[in-house]
Amino acid sequence: MVLVAALLGLVFYLGKATGPKREETRATQMILVAAIQEHMARLEHYPPSDANTVVGRSGQLADALHSDTHVVYVLGTLPKGALQGRGNGQPGAFYDAFGNPMDYQSKGGIGGGPVVISGGPDGRIGGAFEDDDIRSDMN
C-alpha cells in the first residue's frame, strides 16, 4: 500500500513538472504549423522531410522556413531554445521544451498533412512510448 501511494505521488509530481513544458512544446508546434501553412500558401508545397534522421528532417524544415522571407518573421516568435544549431551554414533544428529535437513530416499528420512531433519527457518518438508524444495534429 505504501509503495502504491509513493508511485501515485511520483506520477502526480512528474505530471505537474512536465505540464508547463508540454504546453510550451505545443505552443512551439503551433507557431511552426502556422509558418508551414504560410509557406504552403505561398509556394504551394510543404517543406521537404525526406532526411533519414529526426534532426535532419527538423533541419530541412528550419532551412525551408528561414529561406522564405515571408514566414521568417513567424519564427521570431518562437520560445528561446526552440531553434538550436543555426549558423555557420547550418540550418539548425527545432527543439521541444524538454530539450529534445522535434521531428517533422510533410505528410503523415491527421488528414495526410504536415505534423511536428515531440517525444515528450522521455524524448522517444513513437514505439512503446508513443503515448507521451506531443503531436501538432492532436489536441
Q: Where along the chain do its domains lie? A: 20-135
Q: What is the largest CA-CA distance in the chain?
A: 60
CB neighbourhood size of 51 (10 A)? 14
The residues facing 90 across adjacent strands are: 87
Q: Is residue 113 predicted with pLDDT exceeding 90?
A: no
Q: Is residue 126 predicted with pLDDT exceeding 90?
A: no
Tell me the one-letter amino acid at 12.
F
For the segment 13-24, the average pLDDT, to the nearest whole number, is: 73
Q: Which of 47, 50, 24 is nearest to 36 (CA)?
A: 47
Average pLDDT, the chain: 85
Tell me the one-letter amino acid at 42.
R
Per-residue model confidence (pLDDT) at position 7: 40
To which residue does cell 524538454 refer?
98
**Rounded to two decimals, what is the model's pTM?**
0.83
Output DSSP code: residue 102.
P
Q: In CATH, what is the architecture of 20-135? A: 2-Layer Sandwich (3.30)
Q: Is residue 97 predicted with pLDDT exceeding 50?
A: yes
